[in-house]
Structure 1
Amino acid sequence: MTRHLDLTLTSPEQTSALAARLGAMLHAGDVLLLSGEIGAGKTHFARALIQSLQDTPEDVPSPTFTLVQVYDTPAGELWHADLYRLSSPDECVELGLADAFDEAICLVEWPDKLEDLTPAAALSLRLADRAGDDTRQLTLTWTDPRWDSLVAALV
């Protein structure tokens, strides 16, 4: 059964705080699928989550051109992937994402590029810009019961 939750985030700070709360609950094997139009806040959300897991927060560049950035955190290895420039799911396999889904925390921007490789147990987060200001609509969607209590703890 698919479940979902809609949240309105009224500022970048509120988005960062939610990302940090979610980050504190993640462990190896958790996959977050970040979707939304360009400028919707996917990278901002990912950056805030990654920095919240670092002992000493460091610069977190967008992986748009490198495709994947890997971080060592106290919670385990974390992969931040931006699949925007990929043309086939085979390229995701070449990057090692299929293995990372089992062994690391993974944040994937533009997850539609995964096609059949999309992990069934992933948590999907769709960000939408509202009215051109700093307000974002966040829709979380999941089927795996593992996310029930985690999502409940976010609100």
Structure 2
Amino acid sequence: MHPPVYLVRHGESEWNVRRLTQGQTKHPRLTAIGREQAAGAAEAIAADLARLGLPAARLVTSDLVRAVETAQIVGERIGLVPELDARLREQHLGELEGRSYENSWARAKLHDWSDPELPLAGVSRSGRCAAAWPQSWRTSLLGLPRC
């Protein structure tokens, strides 16, 4: 049996509180609430691993500060040091990064969404990434054979 895979989103960041679009911006750190959320996730994972009688095998995270901080809190609880992998970064949001949610939404509404290949000033083509993700995730991050 392969160990379970837990997907954890970062805790609340300073930019979440300020309602700023983050994307691949590295700067925002976790708030006190975000650290509490990460600790809660860590406890849940540790409890599940204990219930299954399995050790934690690997901890991989995006290299963005908010994700690293979250993973470090989880890692301390389950006894692993996070491995940083830039391929796990949030989608790049181009000119929307650092803007208020309201400003980003207004800008996005002006975009021609009828053409899925037309990026919004730097937005990655998420459809292609999503299609490639399962295979990449399986082989690169988990070290399992290709399907």
State the TM-score, normalizing by the size of structure 1: 0.29
- Structure showing greater relative contact order (alpha-carbon pairs closer than 8 Å, 6 or more residues apart): 1
State the TM-score, normalizing by the size of structure 2: 0.30
Q: Decide which structure has greater helix share.
A: 2
Q: Decide which structure has greater strand share.
A: 1
Highest Rg: 1 or 2? 2
